[in-house]
């Protein structure tokens, strides 16, 4: 059976190099559509559907106790 669509979902960024590598590894005759969805795409879905973001979706703000002196990672 041939796969009609493939969804590749990541919690981080899917780089252009990774997208190209995955696309080249799949046989062009056996794939119809590859859909990539990374962190920004997932967050955008919450925005366009007017849903509240889950806790931890955004980095801590200055009001929550983070200072400017802290490294953000």
pLDDT digits (tens, 9 = 90+) for 29-68: 666 688 899 988 988 888 899 888 888 777 776 445 555 6
pLDDT at 30: 61
Neighbours of 10 (CB within 10 A): 14
- Contact assessment for residue 47 and residue 18, using Cβ atoms and an 8 Å cutoff: no
pLDDT at 14: 92
Mean per-residue pLDDT, 14-38? 81
């Amino acid at each position: 059976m041939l796969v009609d669509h493939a969804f590749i979902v990541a919690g981080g960024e899917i780089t252009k190099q990774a997208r190209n590598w995955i696309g080249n590894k799949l046989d062009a005759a056996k794939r119809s559509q590859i859909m990539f969805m990374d962190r920004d795409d997932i967050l955008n879905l919450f925005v366009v559907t007017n849903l509240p973001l889950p806790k931890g979706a955004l980095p801590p703000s200055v009001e929550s106790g983070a200072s400017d002196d802290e490294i953000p990672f």
